[in-house]
Chains A and B, each alone.
Chain A
Amino acid sequence: MAPPRLVQALTAWLDERVNLGEIQEFIRHKVVPVHRHTVWYYFGGMTLFLFAIQVCTGILLLLYYRPSAEEAYESVQFIVTEVQFGWLIRSIHSWSANLMIATLMIHLFSVYFTQAYRKPRELTWVSGMFLLGLALFFGFSGYLLPWNTLAYFATKVGTDVAGQVPVMGHLLTRILRGGEDVTGATLSRFYGIHVAILPLLTTGILGLHLFLVQKQGMSVPVELEQGGHPPKTMPFFPNFLLRDLVGWLTALAVLAALAAYFPWELGSKADPYAPAPAGIRPEWYFMFMFQTLKYIPAKLGPIDGELVGVMGFGLGGLFLLLVPFLDRRSGRGERSPLFFWIGVGLVLYIAVLSVLGYVAPGGG
């Protein structure tokens, strides 16, 4: 497709000054392997697209939101009822957060099961795990900002769990909450974390992550590598990118539909002195941890049950973080059935516990 004259002229002007040639060459030669598992390649970009949506809708919300306990709820109510299309922006922001974490999980597990973390991509995996942590913290901090009853108590429970970390648990809770309890100070703090600290960290680590992906190209499943001949490829631009766009636009349509048909609730304004309502739940992506803690008995021998749970999650996270280094076989370019089945176990565990969180009667 021949580019229009204007674009050509602009490109030439820039090229004279910053030598666009290298970038153009890179893009022209970037290829994406085509095989049975190519479909999973789209999920990284999808997560990135949804993150971009978050940034845009988040910035728009910033223009009207007020981060104080007295005004937060009312400002969200204002956005949703008075500001033109405020309901759309807000609902898209809330839904897209959930969708982003869903695609992030799919991305994580597809990389895991295709062992794309193996050498030479260990750093990409590690930076990706940090991005997972950042995304979860984005979700946790953002959830409190509307300052409604559910969010208030979910934050209370969540920061209580943080207190279970050995040695620095109490200090950690105090730092998170900006005090001993969840108050307006917590709101201010979470706001700062959500709109400044996390975006800054994410920019850095995401930049690294994306740079590594460009530098090293896409990983192919082990069988294909071992096969001998190089896999079929398609050019990134325009073929893969157009397919990416199809996916992104589908996601956009889905988000708009969700915002119109399942608008995100306002809830009722948080009252710190009222008793906790029945059925407090965290968001679905924390549900499996929440439900696990419910099932662990209060004490296991001399140790607190919750502590055991938190340590368990910590170990699980650590395992995932270090998997490229633990999985020796993948380092050698071989399949590792052991890690495959561990992965299956993890997915099943997360799925079952999450479902139980919604379906199980009362509270364990």
Chain B
Amino acid sequence: MENPASARRGFVNLLLGGGIGAMMVSVFYPVIRYLIPPQSGEPTTANVTLPWKPSEIRTNSGRIFRFGSQPGILVRTPGGELRAFSAVCTHLNCTVQYRDEKQDIWCACHNGVYDLNGKNVSGPPPRPLEPYKTYVKGEQIVVSKGA
């Protein structure tokens, strides 16, 4: 009578002990992972770090980057200055691009043209491009909203 009872007791203790151990893992694993900060570090709604080094951006060139789900355009003017704007055309929201032969920003959809201050100079766009602030931190370029 004793042995089956103590064997069963042993089994229950093992089940309980093992189960509690597994449960602790399934609780603490998510918590530990949660505590480790993710790659992006912070919400990228107010600012974003670009994947290029300042030296990679040639003068008189521009490239599109992603700011959340919206496009932005990073420009190095012929004078060497780094500037960034929203790349959403103020006419009908197409994505604009840099034109090095004209040294301006152009929207292919309806031929809208912006100067390198983001100002709408010709074509349908009714407003300038929203300007962003750029900071160069060593080998990193950081763009933030609210210029």
Q: Which residues of A contact B (CB under 8 A)?
A: 60, 63, 66, 70-71, 74-75, 77-78, 82-86, 88-89, 249
**In the complex, A249 Cα to B30 Cα: how many Å?**
17
Asked if A78 and B42 make an inter-chain contact with CB atoms under 8 angstroms apart, the answer reads: yes
Asked if B30 and A85 make an inter-chain contact with CB atoms under 8 angstroms apart, the answer reads: yes
Which residue of B34, B36, B43 is within 8 Å of A89 (Cβ)?
Answer: B34
- Shortest CB-to-CB span from A61 to chain B, Å, is 10
Asked if A74 and B38 make an inter-chain contact with CB atoms under 8 angstroms apart, the answer reads: no
**A-contacting residues, B45-89, CB 8 Å:** 45-46
* Also in contact, A89 and B30, with CB within 8 A (given A82-B40, A84-B36, A84-B38): yes
Instruction: Judge if B5 is at the interface, Cβ distance under 8 Å.
Output: no
Which residue of B31, B33, B43 is within 8 Å of A78 (Cβ)?
Answer: B43
Q: What 6 A-B pairs are tightest by C-beta distance, nearest first?
A: A85-B30, A84-B33, A78-B43, A74-B45, A74-B43, A82-B38
Q: Name 13 A/B residue pairs within 8 A (Cβ), A-sorted.
A: A60-B34, A60-B35, A66-B43, A70-B46, A82-B38, A82-B40, A84-B30, A84-B33, A84-B34, A84-B36, A85-B30, A89-B30, A249-B23
- Shortest CB-to-CB span from B70 to chain A, Å, is 13
CB closest residue in chain B, given A88: B30
Asked if B35 and A63 make an inter-chain contact with CB atoms under 8 angstroms apart, the answer reads: yes
Asked if B45 and A71 make an inter-chain contact with CB atoms under 8 angstroms apart, the answer reads: yes
- Shortest CB-to-CB span from A79 to chain B, Å, is 9
Of listed A83, A86, A89, residue having the most chain B CB within 10 A: A83
Chain B residues contacting A77 (CB-CB under 8 Å) are 43
Chain A residues contacting B31 (CB-CB under 8 Å) are 60, 85, 89
Of listed B35, B37, B38, B46, residue having the most chain A CB within 10 A: B38
**A-contacting residues, B17-38, CB 8 Å:** 23, 30-31, 33-38
B side interface size, CB within 8 A: 15
Extra contacts besides A78-B40, A88-B30, A89-B30 (6): CB < 8 Å? A60-B31, A66-B43, A75-B43, A82-B38, A82-B39, A84-B36
Chain A residues contacting B38 (CB-CB under 8 Å) are 82-84
Which residue of A63, A71, A82 is within 8 Å of B46 (Cβ)?
Answer: A71
Chain A residues contacting B30 (CB-CB under 8 Å) are 84-85, 88-89
**In the complex, A61 Cα to B78 Cα: how many Å?**
47
Chain B residues contacting A88 (CB-CB under 8 Å) are 30
- Shortest CB-to-CB span from A70 to chain B, Å, is 8
Asked if B34 and A83 make an inter-chain contact with CB atoms under 8 angstroms apart, the answer reads: yes
**In the complex, A301 Cα to B82 Cα: how many Å?**
70
- Shortest CB-to-CB span from A252 to chain B, Å, is 8
**In the complex, A60 Cα to B40 Cα: how many Å?**
18
- Shortest CB-to-CB span from B94 to chain A, Å, is 24
- Shortest CB-to-CB span from A244 to chain B, Å, is 15
Chain B residues contacting A83 (CB-CB under 8 Å) are 34, 37-38
Chain A residues contacting B40 (CB-CB under 8 Å) are 78, 82
Chain A residues contacting B33 (CB-CB under 8 Å) are 84-85
**In the complex, A255 Cα to B97 Cα: how many Å?**
49
CB closest residue in chain B, given A56: B31
Chain B residues contacting A71 (CB-CB under 8 Å) are 43, 45-46
- Shortest CB-to-CB span from A283 to chain B, Å, is 25
- Shortest CB-to-CB span from A233 to chain B, Å, is 24
CB closest residue in chain A, given B30: A85
**In the complex, A86 Cα to B38 Cα: how many Å?**
10
Chain A residues contacting B34 (CB-CB under 8 Å) are 60, 83-86, 89
CB closest residue in chain B, given A70: B46
Chain A residues contacting B46 (CB-CB under 8 Å) are 70-71, 74
Chain A residues contacting B42 (CB-CB under 8 Å) are 78
**In the complex, A66 Cα to B36 Cα: how many Å?**
18
- Shortest CB-to-CB span from A238 to chain B, Å, is 12
**In the complex, A66 Cα to B43 Cα: how many Å?**
10
- Shortest CB-to-CB span from A241 to chain B, Å, is 14
- Shortest CB-to-CB span from A54 to chain B, Å, is 15
**In the complex, A66 Cα to B46 Cα: how many Å?**
13
Chain B residues contacting A84 (CB-CB under 8 Å) are 30, 33-34, 36, 38
